Each structure stands twice: as C-alpha cells, then as structure tokens.
C-alpha cells in the first residue's frame, strides 16, 4: 500500500491510499475555497450523562447533488471536486462540514472508489482490503491525536438512512469522549466479569451463538457473523473475529486477509434479502472499537454491526414512540427468521 498525504485549498488534510503499482497522486486543489469555519460545541445531558454535538454549520452541507456535480468523484477539467486527482483508488479527507472539529474531535470521509455508481459490495477483494487498510491506518493515527478517546469507522448507505451524497463512501469520527453505547457495553462487560470471577462477556456471547447455531449467518475460519439474540433492527448482523482484539490495528494478518470477502458477502446478502426487483438495501455498517485509553480496553471486542431499517419490500422500520422516546425497540422480524433468510441468499 502507498499512502500519499496532501492538503486541500482550505487547509484540510487529504490522503490517497493506493496499491504500490498505482500512479502517483500529485494534483493540486486550485479551488478558491475560504478557510473552514465550524460553529459547534459539545453539551452534556445532565439527566442521561450523554454528550450531544451542536453543529449548526452542517445545515449548509451539500444535499443530494446531481451525479455530474458529485463532490466525491475525481476532478475533471472545469469541474473540481474534493478529490483533485483525475482518478483514485481510496481517498480519505477531513469533512468540510464536520459534526466534530478542533478540540471537539475530528470527522473524515472515506471514499471507497472513484466509480460513482459503485458500492462496497461491488468492490473486488483487493480494493476492499485497501478500504480496510485505510480504516486501520486512520484508526491508528487518530488514536494518537491529543484528546481523542474513541475512533468510529462506519458507512451509511441509502437515502432512507439519511445519506446526502450517493457516491460510495464511509466516514470516521474521532470522539473526544467515550460514546454512550460503548459505555453501556463496558458496564455490562465489567458487571459480568465481577459476577463470574473474570469471564469475558464478549467471548461467552460469541461462543454461545456459535454453539446454538440458529442465528449464525456466516462462519469463516477467522470470523463469525450472526443475528444477535435480542436484535433491534429487522435485519441485523454482528461480525466478530474469532480471536478477540480491541480494534482494527490489532487484527492479525490471517483475520485481515479473510475480512474483505466476508464483509462484502454480508453486503451482497443484504441487497438480496427483499428480492431482485427492489432497489439496493439501505444499511448502516458500523465498526465498534475499544476506547483509546480505557483501563479495560483489552477486554473489549472489536466487532461490526451491520443492519438495515427496511423490514419488508416498500416498508421501513421507523423509530417511533417506544424506540425514540424510551429506547425500547420493538422488532417485527424474529432474529432466527432473519438469520434463516440471510443464509438463504448466500452467494452461489
């Protein structure tokens, strides 16, 4: 892998990730961009203890542009974009409209491919591995930044999810705090450790799902994917490495080599759930990694949570009163039925 770092016209960092045999990326961003100004702050909910990012500048972010005005496509003569080069393999840059910035963290965009009509599922294993290597490298680098407590790599796909740019891409958030969801996992992890005299909750959960088998979707040599017993979403899969590690940089080469094919297979199965006549399935693909400085960091288990808000053809799962008001989910699809369907649509 070759990594080439440069700066955009307004000073934001841009990094190209290429195979070693790719041509050099040396194009200069000549757009007359003003300096990036963010008006945001972090506020703490005194009742729940949650942190909320207030980011009014995001109201002005690019919203569903036509394909010939996509800011994530390579630049062309007379049509400069966020990517100055005329082509690229994987590109990562600081978000122009970040939810977190400065002392309040950092947000980056990860472009998977120069092909506007592509998708993560359509990448070959070599390109998907390059995306994985970019996530890994950025996790390592962002974790070293002063004030960063947790790094979150994720992909939002589909307008129904809230995506405002159709080009295949993901994002990385570097939080200056440990997120509420991770705090709850850590609390359960510690509670279980004390109750059992040292057992790891993640290890027991993965072993129990494999032993039961009814919710297992995909079993590889180094990875196991299953629908969780108490799944919140209609179709939700959790993917764990068989050897517990805290984050992406800690994966060994064997797990790293198998992951691109496993991850792409999950994405392809999600696109087949509702039949060939349906548009691509909207989903969120979210990497849960251990907090950078937590004392129990080594006990946390890296895992991917992959889910869709579509419950049947033409119908979405909305977060209504119970979910949004009380955080109590009501799932219309039994996890065992979801797992069975995801096994049925495996690649032939």
Write the pLDDT tens digit of every residue in 305-336: 999 999 999 999 999 999 999 999 999 999 99
What 3-state DSSP class applies to 188?
helix
Let me know whether 101 and 203 are in one domain.
no
For residues 333 and 205, membership in a common domain is answered with yes
* pLDDT at position 26: 92
Residue 179 DSSP one-character state: -
pLDDT at residue 59 tops 90 = no
Tell whether 165 and 258 lie within a shared domain.
no
User: Domain count of the chain?
Assistant: 2
Residue-level pLDDT at 92? 98
Q: 204 and 79, same structural domain?
A: no
Whether 156 and 195 share a structural domain: no
| CB burial string 295-316: b at 16+ within 10 A, e below | eeeebbbbbbbbbbbbbeeeee
Given 175, 198, 217, the domain boundary residue is 175
Residue 208 is predicted with a pLDDT of 98
pTM of the entire predicted model: 0.96
For residues 109 and 171, is the Cβ–Cβ distance under 8 A? yes
The whole-angstrom separation of Cα 82 and Cα 31 is 9
Chain segment 105-155, per-residue pLDDT in tens: 999 999 999 999 999 999 999 999 999 999 999 999 999 999 999 999 999
pLDDT of residue 63: 87
**Domain final residue pick, 175, 190, 220:** 175
Cβ neighbours of residue 344 closer than 8 Å, sequence gap 6 or more: none
CATH number of the domain within which 303 lies = 3.30.428.10
Same domain, 12 and 94: yes
- The SS3 call for residue 158 is coil
d(CA 245, CA 313) in angstroms, rounded, equals: 37
Question: Quick one: 164 and 60 in the same domain?
Answer: yes
Average pLDDT, the chain: 96
Please report which residue ranges of the chain form alpha helices under DSSP H. 125-143, 180-196, 201-212, 253-272, 326, 335-344
* Range of the structural domain that residue 333 is part of: 181-344
pLDDT at site 323: 96
User: 107 vs 103, which has greater pLDDT?
Assistant: 107
pLDDT of 39 strictly over 80: no
Rounded-to-integer distance, Cα 177 and Cα 174, Å:
9
Encoded tokens for 307: 């889910």
Question: Does residue 51 contact residue 27 with C-beta atoms inside 8 Å?
Answer: no
* Measured distance between the N- and C-terminal CA atoms of the chain, rounded to whole angstroms: 31
Domain boundary pick from 111, 144, 175: 175
Identify the pLDDT of residue 232.
Answer: 98
**Same domain flag for 40 and 152:** yes
Q: Which two tokens stand for residue 75?
A: 């630049």
Please report the pLDDT score of residue 286 as a whole number.
98
38, pLDDT greater than 90: no
The verdict on 160 and 196 lying in the same domain is no
Q: What is the band of 37 on the pLDDT scale with cuts at 50, 70, 90?
A: confident
Q: Annotate 244-258 with b (16+ C-beta within 10 A) or e (fewer).
A: bbbbbbbbeeebbeb
Same domain, 106 and 190: no
Looking at the annotation, which residues are catalytic? Answer: 169
């Amino acid at each position: 892998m070759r990594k080439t770092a440069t700066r955009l016209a307004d000073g934001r960092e841009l990094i190209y990730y290429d195979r070693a045999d790719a041509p050099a990326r040396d194009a200069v961003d000549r757009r007359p961009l003003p300096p990036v100004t963010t008006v945001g702050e972090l506020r703490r909910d005194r009742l729940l203890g949650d942190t909320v990012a207030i980011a009014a500048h995001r109201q002005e972010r690019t919203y569903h542009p036509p394909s010939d005005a996509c800011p994530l496509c390579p630049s062309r003569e007379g049509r400069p974009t966020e990517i100055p080069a005329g082509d690229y393999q994987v590109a990562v840059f600081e978000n122009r409209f970040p939810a977190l910035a400065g002392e309040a963290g950092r947000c980056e965009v990860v472009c998977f491919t120069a092909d506007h009509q592509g998708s993560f599922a359509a990448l070959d294993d070599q390109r998907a591995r390059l995306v994985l290597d970019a996530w890994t490298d950025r996790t390592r680098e962002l974790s070293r930044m002063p004030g960063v407590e947790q790094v979150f790599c994720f992909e939002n796909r589909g307008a129904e999810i809230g995506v405002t740019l159709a080009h295949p891409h993901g994002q990385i958030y570097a939080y200056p705090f440990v997120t509420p969801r991770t705090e709850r996992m850590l609390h359960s992890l510690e509670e279980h450790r004390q109750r059992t005299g040292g057992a790891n909750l993640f290890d027991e959960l993965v072993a129990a799902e494999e032993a039961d088998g009814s919710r297992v979707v995909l079993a590889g040599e180094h990875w196991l994917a299953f629908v969780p017993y108490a799944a919140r979403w209609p179709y939700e899969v959790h993917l764990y490495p068989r050897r517990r590690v805290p984050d992406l940089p800690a994966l060994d080469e064997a797990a790293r080599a198998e992951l691109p094919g496993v991850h792409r297979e999950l994405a392809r199965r999600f696109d087949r759930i509702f039949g060939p006549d349906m548009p691509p399935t909207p989903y969120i693909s979210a990497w849960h990694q251990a907090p950078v400085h937590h004392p129990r960091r080594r006990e946390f288990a890296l895992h991917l949570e992959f889910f869709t808000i579509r419950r049947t053809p033409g119908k979405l799962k909305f977060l209504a009163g119970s979910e949004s008001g009380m955080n109590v989910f009501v799932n219309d699809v039994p996890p065992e039925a979801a797992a069975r369907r995801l096994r049925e649509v495996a690649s032939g």
